[in-house]
Amino acid sequence: MNFLRQKISYLLMGVMLFMVLGACQPVPTVESQSFTGTPIATSVATQTPATSSLPVAYPDRELSASPAQLPKLPYAYNALEKAIDAETMKLHHDRHHAAYVNNLNNALKKYPDLQNRSVEAILRDLESVPEDIRTTVRNNGGGHLNHTIFWQIMSPNGGGQPTGEIAQEINKTFGNFEGFQKQFNAAGGDRFGSGWVWLVRNPQGQLQITSTPNQDSPIMEGLYPIMGNDVWEHAYYLRYQNRRAEYLNNWWNVVNWSEINRRAQASLKQPT
């Protein structure tokens, strides 16, 4: 009996030692240096973002629908901690965006001709999409496009005052940057339920703040999306709970003005 008890205690000690050693595994230095979040986010932050062979999407290349692919997140999950926590980034990109991509591909399987068009071309002409998949394509094609833009117009080195041409255009249109931020945040706050707030260029070439419900894209209304913020709860819920206004304020700390400038210039060259 004593022998058995001794064996069990040795076994328990072994298990404990194994657990302690496991917990002492060194954390990769890059993540540990920049990480400031909660323990649950640590495990997320040390993971590599889900990737595909597809490079990140740029405004001068429309998104393929044959099949649509989840674009690579252009930074680590914890890179935007100034505004968004790592766990939210992981769920948002790996689960929500991935689901839009999968749902879009499943819907388009039945109509291979549509796969030859870009996601943008499909969304610009939703009336030509067969009725039985139209709502699915609208929600998931829109979700894919909106999120692809969203990841790009944020950066760990973002924030601060706008730079370049867009800074001048914002001042000209909205008086100053603070006035623009105020209007943009108000439009995001006023969006009832889920949706997006956008800075777009209209067909007359002017800047305009607008918001869309659900996953609707401004391109469905002939407007070119220059920058947008996701005001679905899944974009901010883990850190901000129901405090959308606080999220909208903090989000400016990660806004990527160089990419926004690039999109603003691209919007001048395109019909919509």
Cβ neighbors of 167 (< 8 A, separation 6 or more) are 161, 177, 257
Q: How far apart are CA 109 and CA 238, in angstroms?
A: 35
Q: How far apart are CA 118 and CA 230, in angstroms?
A: 22
Give the shortest CB-201-to-Mn ion separation in angstroms. Answer: 23
Cβ neighbors of 132 (< 8 A, separation 6 or more) are 110
Site size for Mn ion (CB under 5 A):
3
Give the shortest CB-165-to-Mn ion separation in angstroms. Answer: 28
Nearer to Mn ion, 77 or 174 (CB): 77
Nearer to Mn ion, 63 or 235 (CB): 235
Phi then psi dihedrals of residue 123, to 5 deg: -70, -30
Contact status: 196 vs Mn ion (CB under 5 A): no
CB 183 within 8 A of CB 210: no
Nearer to Mn ion, 166 or 235 (CB): 235
Nearer to Mn ion, 117 or 239 (CB): 239
Nearer to Mn ion, 75 or 177 (CB): 75
Nearer to Mn ion, 162 or 218 (CB): 218
Cβ neighbors of 2 (< 8 A, separation 6 or more) are none
Q: How far apart are CA 227 and CA 59, in angstroms?
A: 11
Give the shortest CB-219-to-Mn ion separation in angstroms. Answer: 17
Nearer to Mn ion, 100 or 184 (CB): 100
213 closest CA partner among 236, 234, 197, 229: 197
CB 46 within 8 A of CB 198: no
Cβ neighbors of 184 (< 8 A, separation 6 or more) are 197, 199, 209, 229, 248
154 closest CA partner among 58, 255, 263: 255
Q: How far is CA 268 from CA 208, 258, 264, 271, in A?
A: 14, 16, 7, 8
Give the shortest CB-196-to-Mn ion separation in angstroms. Answer: 8
Of residues 105 through 124, those in contact with Mn ion by CB under 5 A are none
Of residues 212 through 271, those in contact with Mn ion by CB under 5 A are 230, 232, 235
Nearer to Mn ion, 92 or 117 (CB): 92
- Chain residue at closest Cβ approach to Mn ion: 230
Give the shortest CB-145-to-Mn ion separation in angstroms. Answer: 12
Q: How far apart are CA 74 and CA 222, in angstroms?
A: 28
Q: Rule CB under 5 A: which residues touch Mn ion?
A: 230, 232, 235
